[in-house]
Amino acid sequence: MRAKTHWSIYLPAFLVAALWGGLALWAARAGAETVLTLALLVEAGVVPMLLLMAWLRARGRVLEIGSQGLFLQTGMLRPVKLGAALSMVEAVEAHRSLLQRLLGAGTVEIRLKGGAAWRLDDMAAPEALVACFEERKYPGG
């Protein structure tokens, strides 16, 4: 099973765009040229940067759960690749905040024997990943 990143990874960029867009509209009507300029600079510079960072983070994250183990890759520009046999995985857990529950996203935490841990935020269907891991590690029940 290959895990997918949830669309909520783009939420900060959308919120910044909405907030500064609203501020730009207000500034245009109120005649506040300095505020309008600042808002337009944020819209033109910061929002595209946030979207690009989220896109790189989403495209650079790979989690595969196979019959023999887990494979994780994070980062696109400087990728870090990690792997572990299923026998070395102590637990895979899903955690969700209230907002993540409402949006359908979650955090997946993978703990290995020996204390190492991987944490993946903004994952789609985290409970399905946990169920897939359980099924692969303990086939038949």
Q: Name the architecture of domain 62-137.
A: Roll (2.30)
Per the CB < 8 A criterion, the answer to whether 110 and 117 are in contact is yes
Point out the residues of the chain with pLDDT beneath 50. Answer: none
CA-CA distance, 133 to 141, in Å (whole number)? Answer: 12
Map out the domains of the chain as residue ranges. Answer: 7-57, 62-137
Task: Please state, in angstroms and as integers, the Cα–Cα distance from residue 97 to each residue in 105, 109, 118, following that order.
Answer: 9, 14, 18
83-114 residue pLDDT tens: 999 999 999 999 999 999 999 999 999 999 99
Per the CB < 8 A criterion, the answer to whether 65 and 108 are in contact is no
Q: Is 91 left (phi over 0), alpha (psi -120 to 50) or beta?
A: beta
Place of tokens 């759960």: 65
CA-CA distance, 122 to 110, in Å (whole number)? Answer: 14
In the prediction, which pLDDT does 75 show? 83
Structure tokens given for 91: 């637990």
